Amino acid sequence: MRRRAALAAAALAAPLALAGCSSSGSASGTAQASPPRLSVSGAYIPLPSLPDMAAGYLVVRNDGGRAATLTGVTSPQAQSVSMHQSTASTMLDTPTVQIPAHGTVAFARGGRHLMLMGLSPAPKLGARIELNLRFDDAAPVTVQATVQPLTYQPGQSS
Amino acid sequence: MTSSSFPTRPTRRSVLLGSVGGAAALLLAACGSSSSGAASADGSQLTPSTQAQQGPYQGTPLGRTFDKPAVTLTDTSGKPFDLAAGTRGKAMLLYFGYTHCPDVCPTTMGDIAVAVSKLPKDQQSKIDVVFVSTDPARDTPSGIRTWLAAFNPSFIGLTGDIQTIIAAAKSVGVYVAAPVKGQEPVHGAQTLAFLPTDDKAHVLYTSGTTSAVFQHDLPLLIKGVAA
């Protein structure tokens, strides 16, 4: 069933791109595919070891029948937030991130991550940092990321 | 400020040029392709697939050994530190990175720190963890000290002239490039493990190696078990 959803998404990808440009309404010509339904979970920020920069991790899930495009993240507590993809020896800026229909995209250690600059006040263990995720074709999503220990890994006891 | 100002990953050619020999070049190329595939999906996949070799270590045995880089850099107290002499006769993990690195560098140091913290106390002093800056213009000795202290205050931090650091990295098959203004600096794609018995690197850990792998391997390194 996963496979069928993926095939459907692939077949719809081209018309959707056009529809996304021409209309923000709900009925845009692709009647069968439901609009993106986005949720964000597991947001955390490892307590940074230097005060001026932190990483952020989370999982974006799309339960809708159409892909969504994450176009940026902001935080009232950060001067800037950028989306990156780590490679073997550096990292690349990713201005947008596609969230597939019926799919998830994980921002996780060693891969996609948020880089938060100029956090104020300086993050403390257990503090909550608001993240606002903006999408091209869906309503923004706001989550509270929890500041975790520096070496925290989800699902792994330290 | 736009994506075009960011570097693309080192090209295959630059990776080859930056390495010291055929064996090292192959290792680097392998690291590049495996981590790009596994990193975003499920980091835990990377470890078993690249470490299916038999042998006592869960890290990747090197095809050839490397001497400790014959280099004197500046430690976090601002004093000269002879890397080979300063760590002679001890197991050593060597990583090249930079402190203004949000993801891979702190994750690597954190995974190593967690593994070291789980060693019996008397074993913890038998391994040196050495972090060499790839962004020495920004990484001051005291800045590196503050950064490392969050992981383990006994970790050794070194900085110095970038060309010296590039040469030191190259001597052990690690690709490092001088930071370019407006671009993200480069960190080493791998951590090297040196045995106390011969002071040579025998095992390699790619980015994404879990703390559990380090936990498994550190006691073997400390004992000087051959890879």
Q: What is this structure's pTM?
A: 0.78
Which residues, at least 6 apart from A141, have a Cβ–Cβ distance to it below 8 Å? Answer: A38, A39, A40, A60, A132, A133, A135
Model confidence at B34, pLDDT cuts 50, 70, 90, reads very low
Tell me the ipTM for this assembly: 0.77
* CB atoms A88 and B151 under 8 Å: no
What's the CA gap between B211 and B112, in Å, rounded? 6
Least trusted range by pLDDT, from A31-40, A60-69, A80-89, B25-34:
B25-34
* CB atoms A49 and B146 under 8 Å: yes
Residue A135 has pLDDT above 90, yes or no: yes
Compute the Cα dihedral for A110, A112, A113, A115 and give only its sign: positive
Reading the block at residue A9, the tokens are 């998404």
Q: What percent of chain B has pLDDT over 90?
A: 74
> Is B103 within 8 Å of A110 (Cβ atoms)?
yes
**What pLDDT sits at residue A47?**
97
Residue B88 to residues B39, B69, B120, B189, B226, Cα–Cα distance (Å) = 34, 12, 21, 24, 17
User: In this structure, what are the phi and psi dihedrals at residue B95, rounded to the nearest 5 degrees?
Assistant: -135, 135
Which residues, at least 6 apart from B161, have a Cβ–Cβ distance to it below 8 Å? Answer: B136
Least trusted range by pLDDT, from A3-7, A19-23, A128-132:
A19-23
Q: Would you state the torsion angle of the CA atoms of residues A15, A36, A117, B182, taken in this order, to the nearest 10 degrees? A: -10
Domain ranges in chain A? 2-20+35-148
**Chain B contacts of A94, Cβ < 8 Å?**
3
* Residue listed under structure tokens 């981590």: B35
Residue B25 has pLDDT above 90, yes or no: no
* Residue listed under structure tokens 């590196």: B144
**Chain B contacts of A52, Cβ < 8 Å?**
100
Task: Work out the average pLDDT over A127-150.
Answer: 97
Model confidence at B53, pLDDT cuts 50, 70, 90, reads low
Per-residue pLDDT reduced to its tens digit, B128-172: 999 999 999 999 999 999 999 999 999 999 999 999 999 999 999
Domain count, chain B: 1
Residue A41 has pLDDT above 70, yes or no: yes
Residue A64 has pLDDT above 70, yes or no: yes
Per-residue pLDDT reduced to its tens digit, B175-196: 999 999 988 999 999 999 999 9
Residue A112 has pLDDT above 50, yes or no: yes
Q: What percent of chain B has pLDDT over 70?
A: 77
CB contact, 8 Å: B175 with chain A?
Answer: yes
Reading the block at residue B193, the tokens are 């493990």
Kind of pairing between the strands at A53-62 and A38-46: antiparallel
Task: Work out the average pLDDT over B89-118.
Answer: 97
Q: Which of B190, B183, B193 is nearest to B224 (CA)?
A: B193
* CB atoms A53 and B40 under 8 Å: no
Per-residue pLDDT reduced to its tens digit, A24-36: 344 444 557 899 9
CB contact, 8 Å: B39 with chain A?
Answer: yes
Query: Chains A and B: how many Cβ contacts under 8 Å?
Result: 117
**What pLDDT sits at residue B40?**
35
- Domain A2-20+35-148: CATH superfamily is PCu(A)C copper chaperone (2.60.40.1890)
Domain of residue B164: give its range. Answer: 3-223
* CB atoms A91 and B103 under 8 Å: yes
Structure-model confidence comparison of residues B150 and A1, the more confident one: B150
> Is B98 within 8 Å of B189 (Cβ atoms)?
no
> Is A145 within 8 Å of A58 (Cβ atoms)?
yes
Model confidence at B43, pLDDT cuts 50, 70, 90, reads very low
What's the CA gap between B65 and B194, in Å, rounded? 9
* CB atoms A88 and B207 under 8 Å: yes
**What pLDDT sits at residue A57?**
98
The domain that holds B93 is classified in CATH as: 3.40.30.10
Task: Work out the average pLDDT over A92-96.
Answer: 95
